[in-house]
């Protein structure tokens, strides 16, 4: 068993696969909450522990990453529940830079979906270990063997079943834990309480047939014999390198198969590891503190107009009231109220160690990607912005609220909700987003959090890329020839705005020595 006490992981999935529901049930098993209750169907009534923004509650989807922590079997578990919707993918990608492993949730009815493919691909690129939970086995869906084959084929990852369902849909009888060599039976028609499970150790026992019927018992024995032949045994090295995924089956809404997943997770998931910085690799065991900001969120608690920067502790120990170096500015930084999270609840802490996600009260000090250290100039890699797909000019509908309008836009930009670009030729400000739903979030948050109403007007740009060149004259010539399409982002980096992907490709290829990028973390 991994002796490191911290386990920090993200939950990823396609929208509506049950990601937020399983987060809630993990918190229930971890004792962080005492009554989960079903997540009710119907978008207008969905409310779960980790969805705290008003729009999230109204729509029943996660819009921004929530951070929750609990203790389980001597481990401190930190869960980051990420947005599943593609329009909020940037928040998810940045969150994946701050975790040591992931839990991937797949809908057994729909199988592998588009967002799951993309998120799994990012995990594989980063060699992030993945545990898979195939959800909604209380419904009629795809055959479990078919699902395993689909995961392997679609996601290019080896599967290793660690539990196996007994029946499916209305005939769901229980789940056999291959990992623990025992059978747990559930009443699939009721919401399960945490304690309600019957354990049968011997698969050949008469008790098994009595509980689930002779035909179900025979089928379970046959299927377990078959999957033992087809699929490999669990290999820790392959799991930790992101090449093999342990797979569990269940129904999160019924607490079905969730405890088995959690028990295995705390046994096998990696603790804090090594992070890549620009000049070197930073080890968790290093004595000097370092950490980076991967998310900023204003007005997390509507009762307090606050702004919190989320920091991943990479190495050493963070202490409150100690002065650290803010690497980007070179200035000192000290806080008297660093916080730990349980969804909306926060507790002030004295110290934090590698793997911890803590909140720092922010008055505009931080930007996403900023680093705090004990003096070393460390800049961690891989916390980018992505080239937007949608551009608009944003118009203040109430000129008397100009101050609120500017403050709201600036803060949303610093959070990464929206990107702001300033055209070099006219100084006109444009906003860029990855998906259309982000525009609704901007309007909603501007009105409800900053008391400013705004509208959007279309522009003739559909894509963009950041540009750079070793030879300054190449860059100057390009900018001169394309004056009306050049803008700067908030970091001062140049970006080329194009009316179409075809035009972008054609234009940049004409300039030898010009380099272009679709994420902002280039050098």
334 and 411, same domain (yes or no): no
| Domain end point (choices 373, 399, 417) | 373
Q: Tell me: the pLDDT tens digits for 118-133?
A: 888 888 878 899 999 9
State how far the Cα of 80 lies from the Cα of 10, in Å rounded to an integer.
Answer: 5
Q: Give the pLDDT confidence score for residue 70 in this predicted structure.
A: 85
Domain residues for the domain of 406 are 390-517
Report the CATH number that the domain containing residue 201 is assigned in CATH.
3.40.50.300
* Within a domain: 423: yes
> Are β-strands 158-161 and 244-249 bridged in parallel, bridged antiparallel, or unpaired?
parallel
| Residue 509 resides in a domain | yes
Q: What pLDDT is recorded for position 64?
A: 45
Q: Which three-class secondary structure state does DSSP give residue 455? A: strand
- Residues 259, 341 within the same domain: no
CATH of the domain at 451: 3.30.70.3280
Q: Which of 211, 233, 268 is the last residue of a domain?
A: 268
- The single residue listed with the structure tokens 């018992």 is 217
* pLDDT exceeds 60 at position 197: no
Same domain, 263 and 286: no
Domain total for the chain? 3
In this structure, the answer to whether residues 338 and 197 fall within a common structural domain is: no
pLDDT of residue 89: 55
Specify if 215 maps to a domain: yes
In-domain check, residue 107: yes
Does residue 467 share a domain with residue 368?
Answer: no
What is the Cα–Cα distance from 388 to 54, expressed in whole angstroms?
25
The pLDDT tens digits of the residues spanning 157-196 come to: 999 999 999 888 888 888 888 888 888 776 655 554 544 5
Same domain, 233 and 170: yes
pLDDT digits over 246-270, tens only? 999 998 888 788 888 999 999 999 9
Instruction: Identify any residues that bridge with 199 across adjacent strands, giving them in sequence order.
Output: 184
In terms of pLDDT, which residue wins out, 324 or 384?
A: 324
Looking at 133-142, 336-345, 354-363, 456-465, which range is the least confident one?
336-345
| Mean per-residue pLDDT of the chain | 82
Q: Are 92 and 81 in contact (CB under 8 A)?
A: no
Query: What integer pLDDT is reported at residue 295 of this predicted model?
Result: 84
380 part of a folded domain: no
Q: Is the pLDDT of residue 387 over 50?
A: yes
**Using CA atoms in the order 448, 453, 457, 463, what is the torsion angle rounded to 10 degrees?**
-30
Judge whether residue 3 has pLDDT over 50: no
Rounded CA gap, 217 and 223, in Å? Answer: 10
- Residues found in the chain: 523
Give the mean pLDDT of 104-117: 88
- Are both 106 and 169 inside the same structural domain? yes
pTM above 0.95, yes or no: no
User: What's the rounded Cα separation, in Å, for the pair 119 and 245?
Assistant: 14
Residues 75, 241, 18: CA angle, nearest 5 degrees: 60
Cα separations (Å) of 410 from 118, 300, 367, 431? 30, 16, 11, 11
* 384 within a domain of the structure (yes/no): no
Residues 86 and 117: their CA atoms lie apart, in Å, by 12
Query: 316 and 394 in one domain?
Result: no
The pLDDT assigned to 512 comes to 84
């Amino acid at each position: 068993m991994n002796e490191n006490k911290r386990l920090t992981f993200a939950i990823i999935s396609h929208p509506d696969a049950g990601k937020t529901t399983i987060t809630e049930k993990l918190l229930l098993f971890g004792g962080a909450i005492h009554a989960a209750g079903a997540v009710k169907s119907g978008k207008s009534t969905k409310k779960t522990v980790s969805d705290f923004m008003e729009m999230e509650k109204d729509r029943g989807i996660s819009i921004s990453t929530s951070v929750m922590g609990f203790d389980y079997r001597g481990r401190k578990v930190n869960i980051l529940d990420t947005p599943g919707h593609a329009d909020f993918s940037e928040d998810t990608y940045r969150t994946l830079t701050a975790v040591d492993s992931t839990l991937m949730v797949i809908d057994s009815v729909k199988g592998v979906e588009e967002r799951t493919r993309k998120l799994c691909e990012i995990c594989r690129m980063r060699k992030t270990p993945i545990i898979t939970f195939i959800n909604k086995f209380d419904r009629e869906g795809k055959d479990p063997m078919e699902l395993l084959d689909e995961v392997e084929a679609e996601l290019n990852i080896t599967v290793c079943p660690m539990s196996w369902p007994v029946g499916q849909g209305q005939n769901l009888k229980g789940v056999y834990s291959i990992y623990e060599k025992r059978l747990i039976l559930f009443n699939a028609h009721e919401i399960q309480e945490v304690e309600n499970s019957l354990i049968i150790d011997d698969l050949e026992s008469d008790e098994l047939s009595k509980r689930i019927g002779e035909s179900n018992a025979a089928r379970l024995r046959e299927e377990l014999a078959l999957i033992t032949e087809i699929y490999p045994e669990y290999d820790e090295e392959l799991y930790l390198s992101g090449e093999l995924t342990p797979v569990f089956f269940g129904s999160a809404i019924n607490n079905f198969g969730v405890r088995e997943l959690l028990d295995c997770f705390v046994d096998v998931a990696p603790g804090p590891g090594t992070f890549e910085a620009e000049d070197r690799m930073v080890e968790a065991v290093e004595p000097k503190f370092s950490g980076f900001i991967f998310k900023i969120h204003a007005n997390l608690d509507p009762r307090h107009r606050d702004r919190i920067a989320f920091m991943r502790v990479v190495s050493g120990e963070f202490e409150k009231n100690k002065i650290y170096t803010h690497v980007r500015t070179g200035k000192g930084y000290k806080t008297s109220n660093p916080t730990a999270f349980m969804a909306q609840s926060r507790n002030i802490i004295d110290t934090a160690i590698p793997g911890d996600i803590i909140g720092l009260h922010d008055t505009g000090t931080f930007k996403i990607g900023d680093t705090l250290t004990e003096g070393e100039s460390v800049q961690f890699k891989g916390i980018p912005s992505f080239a937007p797909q949608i551009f608009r000019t944003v118009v203040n509908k109430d000129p008397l609220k100009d101050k609120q309008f500017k403050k709201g836009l600036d803060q949303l930009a610093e959070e990464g909700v929206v990107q702001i670009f300033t055209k070099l030729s006219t100084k006109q400000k444009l906003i860029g987003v990855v998906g259309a739903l982000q525009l609704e979030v901007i309007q909603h948050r501007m009105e409800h959090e900053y008391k400013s109403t705004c509208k959007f007007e279309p522009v003739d740009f559909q894509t963009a890329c950041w540009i750079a060149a070793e030879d300054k004259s190449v860059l100057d010539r390009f900018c001169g020839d394309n004056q009306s399409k050049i803008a700067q982002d908030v970091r001062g980096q140049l970006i080329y705005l194009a009316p179409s992907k075809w035009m972008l490709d054609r234009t940049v290829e004409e300039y030898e020595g010009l380099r272009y990028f679709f994420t902002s973390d280039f050098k």
